[in-house]
Structure 1
Amino acid sequence: MTTASLIGWTALSALVPGAAHLRAGRRRTGFVLLAVFGVVLVAILLYGLRFMGDAGAVIRSSTLTTIMVGSGVCALAWFTLTVLSFVALRPKRLSQNGQIVSGIVVGVLAVSVMAPFALTASTIKAVGETLDAISAPDGSQPTHVPIRAEDPWNGRKRINFLLLGGDAAGNRESVRTDSMTVASVNLATGNTVLFSLPRNLQYVRFPAGSPLHKQFPNGFTAEQGLLNAVWYYADNNPQVMGGRNRGPQALKDAIGHTLGLKIDYYAMVDMFGFARLIDAMGGLQIRVEQDIKWGGKFGTAGTIKAGHRRLSGEEVLWYGRSRVDSDDFSRMGRQRCVIGALAQQANPATVLTNFTKIATATRHMFRTDIPRDLLEHLVPLGLKVKDAKITSLQFVPPLIWPGNPDWHKIRTLTLKAIRESMTDRRAVAANASPSDAPATPGATTPRVPASPSPSETQSLAKRPTQTPTQNDQEAKSLTELCGF
């Protein structure tokens, strides 16, 4: 046997265990290794088939541990197999130079065959640590009811998630929730309605059970009464909320009461962490309708040119944040397109290719009160939503004036949008007009507090007659609006 053939048979044994032993005349050992290899392949196949109808079970803690331990065992087994295959071929029959060359090559091969298993174990470990980190309790969550596998949603037919973009910039003392969207998901069909609320929505009410209802019975007036300051106020006034880290619950109460929905869970993305996530994905393809200047009040830092462009994380961040020659409602529309583009482009190939970077970025950008045991049930729901109808409603002028919101109208439109999402019409992004709200005889409409604050009086006095944002009367799909 030549040096090359010995190396070749050893390498073949790494792919087909037992090949080298058969070549060396050790038929019994060779067939035993082949049989064991076949049994292992069948076992892995059967184990994988378990997840065909339950994709979420892949991220279960027990599953991740099993895969990680199995990868470690396989790494050691293949290393041992490679060495034993080399020994079975009796390299001492080679010349001295042949022994040295074959020993070095097989040594590298023995280490190399461990790499795929080590990579798998490392990836699975990153998944587990990421999921544990983003779902770790921070004191804001109440005690959750244990998750039952047969009914993880506790009999609910619809689940409402509050999706937040938090801005904790260096010049701010705490988090301001500058992007607030409620995703109301039909559990049976996956049809989803996105309700976007402007950050400057003023004087929101709180349900009777909220501590802030007693503090602000006529509507939230602290911090200029802006919705994006509710989390900030609650976190910085634990004596009012009855404990620390109650910002998420306060905001869920306010937005849920505003829409007439029960907000089940929240997920907040730190905007700068979001930029790192986009970079980890290799950028995001966006249709930029017009030049977007960013930086300061006059956009002196840079310009995102119009057209179909692949934007970096920083550019995506500023595309959704810039107010230069724009307004909050235009920003909301761009942020909606970013969410839609991310949902479409975060495909399995992209995620797997950049998994380690994405996992690292995700670990430091998310906060949520979704229990760890519920995450596995979000996977099949997310896959269902991806192919379902997604509609969108923004509560912006002229539909709703943030300084003088019509609370009854907001609830009426919310209910109408949910009802329409349950039909079989094509996916639309509804920018509803004021006429969309059906008239309700005798309905009372909550207004601003009876004794307006100075800032409120000024806001009403300067109520705008139009907005730079064009809100189409005709419903359009996200494809039309965002150019996907």
Structure 2
Amino acid sequence: MSAAAVLGWLVLAALAPGAAHLRAGWRKTGLILLGCYAAGLLALLAVRLSTDNLLGDLTQDSWLTGITAGAVVLGVAWFALIVHSFVVLRPGSLPQAGQVLAGTFAGLLAVLVVLPFGMVSSYVWTSRNAINDIFVNDGTPEPQAEGTTTRPEDPWAGRTRVNILLIGGDADDNRIGVRTDSMNVATVDVKSGNTVLVSLPRNLENVRFRPGTPMAQHFPNGFRLPPDPGGGRSDLLNSVWEYADAHPEIFGGKQHQGPKVLMDTIGYTLGLKVDWYALVNMWGFARLIDAIGGVTLTVEQDVVFGRYNEGLVKAGTRKLKGADAMWYARSRTFSDDFTRMRRQRCVIGALLDQADPATVLTRFNRIAGATKELIRTDIPRPMLKHLVPLALQVKNARVTSIQFVPPLISTVSPDWAKIRSITEKAIRDSAGDRPTAATASPESSSAPKSTRSPSSKKQKESDPTKTLTEGCGSL
């Protein structure tokens, strides 16, 4: 057998274990290896066909541990397979130059076949650690439909929507408490994935609390405190979490009530039941953007930042690093909260569009490390298996947004009924209940502009619902 033939059979053995053994006359061993290989492939196919929610199951601790162990075992087995295949092909019968070439190639191939298994093991173990660090694993069971004692086929227990409060926190080592400067509720249709992102301004005043709650009893006429010595206010919506955490006496001595109070307050404001929250550290978010290699944004005009206005994010379309993307999203210099809310929406939309699977895979460990430092949430660990496929639906579904900013509402004296009414309509429209094209948003209607009546145009202009990236990217 020539050196080229040995190399060819080694490559074939790496793809079809047992091929080299059959060629060398080890018939029984070769058939066993090929049989085991075929059985393994059939087992994987059976698992895929029998599992409706494979991606969700892959977030479970038992699966992640099993995959990690399996990848290690298979990596060692494939390494041994290449070495033994080389031995049975009798390379000693080759000329000296052929032996050197075949031996070198066999060594490189043995290492090469181990690499995919090593990468899988590393990625899965990193995922497991990140998931266990982020999500609550307190023994909370999966949701049960009312009146049932067994696990329902519907993981949402009859709910048609899931509402998650997404918070941008401005926590810092030099600051006591958590200041929630960005508050958005993602309300997701569990069947279609269609999502409405509802944004509330940080400076919403006279916030009302759900009747009967300790905060409502303490502030019966709304969240109102005396002005700060410097003239600022500590009774805005972005102070609710911090205030509740700082005053456990309101809750009978219970500590750390901030997240629960803010979820309930925002849910009451919008007329929703908020299921869970996810707090994102804004500067951790910058590390996440760096982990995916930056995000491409169109900066409409120069954005100035810094205590002395020394920082600048220049206008133009380009890929921004994490720090610049965050300053673009957060700066209020020569601007206001409402413009900042729009820029934050643009950054979220750009991330959803640009965090493609290839980018996530190639930068996985960095992304997992950044995410672990980025997120704090009360989402139960068992629910993750259902949220993962739902999140994939959202990426390919219709995402619209509402921003409750002037002139739509007054932040000083908000019309609470109007806020709930607009939210309810946006959710109904997102679910596909709009009766005619005349009431659709501009992005969802395919009718030519010339065929729209003046009343239709006026109706559209008054519709506060927008696509997530509407108003972004215009210089």
Q: Name the counterpart of 1:346.
A: 355
* d(CA) in 2 for partners of 1:188, 1:95: 66
Q: What secondary structure is seen at the aligned counterpart in 2 of 1:364?
A: helix
* d(CA) in 2 for partners of 1:428, 1:374: 35
Q: What secondary structure is seen at the aligned counterpart in 1 of 2:207?
A: coil
Query: Deviations 1:56-111 (Å, cap 9, x if unpaired)?
Result: 22323333233222212211211121121122123343566765664454334323
**More displaced, 103-112 or 191-200?**
103-112
* d(CA) in 2 for partners of 1:42, 1:401: 62
* d(CA) in 1 for partners of 2:288, 2:304: 22
What does residue range 191-206 of structure 1 map to in structure 2 within 5 Å?
191-206=194-209
Q: Percent sequence identity over matched residues?
A: 52
Q: Name the counterpart of 1:165.
A: 168
Quickly say closer, same or farther: Cα 1:173–1:258, change in 2 above 3 A: same
Task: Report the TM-score, using the length of structure 1 for normalisation.
Answer: 0.83
Q: What secondary structure is seen at the aligned counterpart in 1 of 2:204?
A: coil
Is the CA contact 1:393–1:429 (under 8 Å) kept in the aligned structure 2? Answer: no
Q: Name the counterpart of 2:224.
A: 221
Q: Name the counterpart of 2:417.
A: 408
Q: Which letter does structure 2 place at the counterpart of 1:155?
A: G
* d(CA) in 2 for partners of 1:327, 1:71: 52
What does residue range 185-334 of structure 1 map to in structure 2 within 5 Å?
185-222=188-225, 224-241=234-251, 242-296=253-307, 299-302=309-312, 304-334=313-343
* d(CA) in 2 for partners of 1:388, 1:130: 27
Quickly say closer, same or farther: Cα 1:12–1:419, change in 2 above 3 A: closer
Is the CA contact 2:196–2:402 (under 8 Å) kept in the aligned structure 1? Answer: yes
Q: What secondary structure is seen at the aligned counterpart in 2 of 1:482?
A: coil
Q: Name the counterpart of 1:78.
A: 78
Q: Which letter does structure 2 place at the counterpart of 1:195?
A: V
List runs of 5+ in structure 2 lacking aligned partners: 145-150, 226-232, 445-460
Q: Name the counterpart of 1:121.
A: 121
**More displaced, 204-213 or 333-342?**
204-213
Tell me the CA shift for residue 347 of structure 1.
Answer: 2.0
Residue 388 (1) aligns with residue 397 (2): yes
Q: What secondary structure is seen at the aligned counterpart in 2 of 1:161?
A: strand
* d(CA) in 1 for partners of 2:70, 2:45: 14
Q: Name the counterpart of 1:453.
A: none
Residue 361 (1) aligns with residue 370 (2): yes
* d(CA) in 1 for partners of 2:171, 2:65: 35
Tell me the CA shift for residue 408 of structure 1.
Answer: 2.4
Quickly say closer, same or farther: Cα 1:230–1:428, change in 2 above 3 A: farther
Is the CA contact 2:303–2:331 (under 8 Å) kept in the aligned structure 1? Answer: yes
Is the CA contact 2:143–2:156 (under 8 Å) kept in the aligned structure 1? Answer: no
* d(CA) in 2 for partners of 1:142, 1:42: 35
Tell me the CA shift for residue 412 of structure 1.
Answer: 2.4
Q: Name the counterpart of 1:441.
A: none
Quickly say closer, same or farther: Cα 1:391–1:99, change in 2 above 3 A: closer
Tell me the CA shift for residue 238 of structure 1.
Answer: 2.8
Quickly say closer, same or farther: Cα 1:292–1:49, change in 2 above 3 A: farther
Q: What secondary structure is seen at the aligned counterpart in 1 of 2:58?
A: helix
* d(CA) in 1 for partners of 2:309, 2:399: 33
- For these two proteins, the number of residue pairs brought into alignment is 439
Is the CA contact 1:210–1:253 (under 8 Å) kept in the aligned structure 2? Answer: no
Provide the alpha-carbon RMSD of the alignment.
2.7
List runs of 5+ in structure 1 lacking aligned partners: 431-471
What does residue range 398-437 of structure 1 map to in structure 2 within 5 Å?
398-422=407-431, 423=433
Q: Name the counterpart of 2:60.
A: 60
Tell me the CA shift for residue 353 of structure 1.
Answer: 1.9
* d(CA) in 2 for partners of 1:382, 1:333: 22
Tell me the CA shift for residue 260 of structure 1.
Answer: 1.8
Q: Which letter does structure 2 place at the counterpart of 1:132?
A: N
Is the CA contact 2:291–2:370 (under 8 Å) kept in the aligned structure 1? Answer: yes
Q: Which letter does structure 2 place at the counterpart of 1:259?
A: L
Quickly say closer, same or farther: Cα 1:19–1:261, change in 2 above 3 A: same
Quickly say closer, same or farther: Cα 1:350–1:149, change in 2 above 3 A: farther
**More displaced, 143-152 or 258-267?**
143-152
Task: Report the TM-score, using the length of structure 2 for normalisation.
Answer: 0.84
Tell me the CA shift for residue 266 of structure 1.
Answer: 0.6
